[in-house]
Amino acid sequence: MLQREILDPLELRRTTLRPQQPAALGFAVHPWADVLLPEPEHDHGAMAPAGALWSTVEDLARFTAALAGEGDLIPAATLEEMLTPQGLVEQQDGGWEVAYGLGVQLWNDGGRRTHGHGGSMPGFLAFLETAVGGDGVVVLANSTGGVDVGTLATDLLAILDQHEPAVPQPWRPTPTNAQTLALLGIWYWGPTPIGLRADGEGGDGSGDGGLALTDIGRGGRTSRFAAVGPDRWRGLDGYYRGEPLRVVRRGDGTPLHLEISGSFVLTRQPYEPGVGIPGGDVPWEAGPR
């Protein structure tokens, strides 16, 4: 399956389960002297799926381009799912720097997101890092340790960005239907204003596009949402990742409020009259029970 689904479509002719000559020799450095110690290649048996795959910079560059969204090997929807954080190291300000998606590691450097993976076997280190639609870096070293291939890859990307910035893509309008347009603008969670804008990355191609809750300077919780049906979205990231968002409309079809997770209500005015409490009001009785 690996050969049929990945190696052949990407023409990775030098990516194999065992080394094909010419191949680099693996080494380790003696802990107490500047002496090279050979790391003999061998069949890793049950541990082979953890990293026993031989490749070249050229082959991994093709694979990195596929992870950046080039070609048709990985559908856009699948790549979006792969790059959605499943587990992350959250910082005190609510942001994150390192996370894991599906099959890839994710990095967030001041809002610039990249993804890829590192790997190692006795005698060898590897690392690849790329951005969607952007540049990528592959680093290979025939050493068991002593080389920070992850930092080197990140530094190389930064140097490339500095000296050869990416050419901006031409602006193209994102189809958004009239009902979705009517939802955009300022909403309130209690007294806190939150912006709601169209987000093309979460679109489903029907014009019922993605949405993004954005902080407008009052500390509101933010997330992007992908359309899953009429008046229905699901959180892609941030505080509301995985949570449903739906529009509650009046009898005439105009939006009354937004409901997230069945418990968060966003209204057009702070504490807007006429909008009920999620789940209904609970009657209050005075006096002891």
pLDDT in tens for each of the 289 residues of the chain? 889 999 999 999 999 988 999 999 999 999 899 899 999 888 888 888 877 889 999 999 999 999 999 998 999 889 989 998 888 876 656 667 899 999 999 998 877 889 999 988 889 999 999 988 788 999 999 999 888 999 999 999 989 988 988 777 788 887 778 888 899 999 999 888 999 998 865 444 444 578 999 988 766 688 999 989 899 999 988 889 899 999 999 889 889 999 998 889 999 999 888 776 654 444 444 444 3
Q: Using an 8 Å Cβ cutoff, are 106 and 99 in contact?
A: yes
Task: Quote the CA–CA distance of 239 and 241 in Å, as a whole number.
Answer: 6
Q: Please choose, from the candidates 146, 195, 116, 162, the residue with its C-alpha nearest in 3D space to the C-alpha of residue 31.
A: 146
Backbone φ and ψ for 201, nearest 5 degrees, come out as -65, -20
H-run or E-run covering 62: helix 57-67
Residue 45's φ and ψ, nearest 5 degrees, are 60, -125
pTM of the model: 0.61
Fold classification of 7-39+49-163 (topology level): Beta-lactamase (3.40.710)
Can you tell me whether residue 76 is helix, strand or coil?
A: helix
Letter for the amino acid at 225? Answer: F
